[in-house]
Structure 1
Amino acid sequence: MPRLYYQGHGSYRITSNHGMVIYVDPFVGGGYEKPADLILVTHQHSDHNRVELVRRAPGCQMITEREALAGGVYHTFTVGVAQIEAVRAENINHDPRECVGYLLTLDGIGIYAAGDTSTTDQMHSFSQRRLDYALLPIDGVYNMGPGEASACARLIGARHSIPVHMKPGALFERACAERFSAPGRIILEPGEEIEL
């Protein structure tokens, strides 16, 4: 089974059935010992782009918002066994011209890596994708808070929703995570890993 390891804040690692290793928004925590085959960066804020933490396997590819939104168009990529589609991310603190989220498919699992965002006009269409996991920021300072994120989770309709990016300057905050309410909610603490 593919696995997801939560490093803390907005950082996590996904490993496919075939051993492909993907890091999303590296910044904090442990779990960087596996060399990356793919690094995804949603935007260039300093708590999402510490790519120097990641050891790279031969042929490692990196996709940032620059490639994902080149020419003002949201692009789609295939890297190994993974398909990656860039989608809109935005709020008062995040310019949609400089930020993206990603819809990631591997091993038959659909994952929405939201990055930093509040509600977007694309989210209503995500329910048609029958996603398995949505990872949503909930800090309520730089992004939507737990209430809005809970509404987004219901709109997106993923089988499971995971709160991330809970408190500026912290890896994790249980009280904030508990305020996030969605069907199939999974709360992960830094260092926890689940089968997808």
Structure 2
Amino acid sequence: MSQLHITWYGHSNVMLSENGVSVLFDPFFEGNRFAPDWREIPRPDIVALTHDHGDHMGQTVEIVRTTGAMLYCIADLVGYFRERGVPEGQIINYGMGGNVDGTLEFKGTKLTMTQAFHSAAMGSPVGYVVEMPGGHTVYHAGDTGLFGDMTLIADRFNLDLALLPIGGVFTMDGRLAAKAAGLLGAPVAMPMHYRTFPVLAQNADLFVESLKEFAPTCRPLVIEPNEMVVLD
């Protein structure tokens, strides 16, 4: 199995890179106090959007149009992006996007949309399971509350890493995210969607402590914004 490179740009903005392919989730840069200028990051091959809230959609349009990256989003958002100049040929699935439980492949990377329990102005919020070309499988939960059918994700996929929101108020908090880690059965879980705004949890301490109770075999991966780590 190849090395998986993980970079967290704060909030739910995460870049995964493996075997020369990069997937960027929820590219919220402008207004994100932890993020660099989006023009300075490595070029993504795929931009995967979980839902249309501003702190997730961020600079999706600018990045896709400027870099030529492929966009994957729920089908209901495709019209929004077309109206803003995203070429149909840069939207995965022949310009149609996808939906929950659908799997699409690009550059040897498989992306499966999962349900997420949250809200959205258009379409529905989703998460993603990404099967990277080097063999790692990663779940990006998007914005979600805890739901019992996370066990079905565990049944379907052998996860290597779960990216879980822990900020509370709008998503799971650290304790609920630890319960999610237990349901998912991932050996490693990385917290996200915290610290960005004062209303959110400002550290991952509750998540780390709660893992000991709900998922004792799961290793917390707590990194700093703009830090890149490697998962073997």
TM-score with structure 1 length normalisation? 0.86
Q: Is residue 130–residue 159 contact of structure 1 (8 Å, CA) maintained in 2?
A: no
Give the count of matched residue pairs. Answer: 188
Q: Is residue 167–residue 201 contact of structure 2 (8 Å, CA) maintained in 1?
A: no
**Residue matched to 2:27:** 26
Aligned-pair identity (%): 26
Structure whose residues are more often strand by fraction: 1
1:87 to 114, 117, 127: 114
Q: Is residue 88–residue 120 contact of structure 1 (8 Å, CA) maintained in 2?
A: no
**Structure 2: which amino acid aligns with 1:150?**
A
**Residue matched to 1:99:** 125
**Residue matched to 2:85:** none
Whole-Å separation in 2 of the counterparts to 1:84 and 1:112: 10
**Residue matched to 1:140:** 168
SS of residue paired to 1:180: helix
**Residue matched to 1:193:** 228
Moved >3 Å (runs of 4+): 55-58, 93-97
**Structure 2 unaligned spans of 5+:** 30-34, 76-96, 212-217
Q: Is residue 40–residue 62 contact of structure 1 (8 Å, CA) maintained in 2?
A: yes
Considering only CA atoms, is the larger Rg found in Structure 1 or Structure 2?
2
**Structure 1 unaligned spans of 5+:** none
Whole-Å separation in 2 of the counterparts to 1:158 and 1:53: 33
Structure whose residues are more often helix by fraction: 2
**Residue matched to 1:151:** 179
1:65 to 50, 74, 91: 74
Q: Give the root-mean-square deviation of aligned CA atoms.
A: 2.3
Greater shift in the superposed pair: 79-88 or 180-189: 180-189
Whole-Å separation in 2 of the counterparts to 1:103 and 1:158: 12
CA apart distance, 1:152: 0.5
Whole-Å separation in 2 of the counterparts to 1:139 and 1:24: 17
Q: Is residue 5–residue 31 contact of structure 1 (8 Å, CA) maintained in 2?
A: no
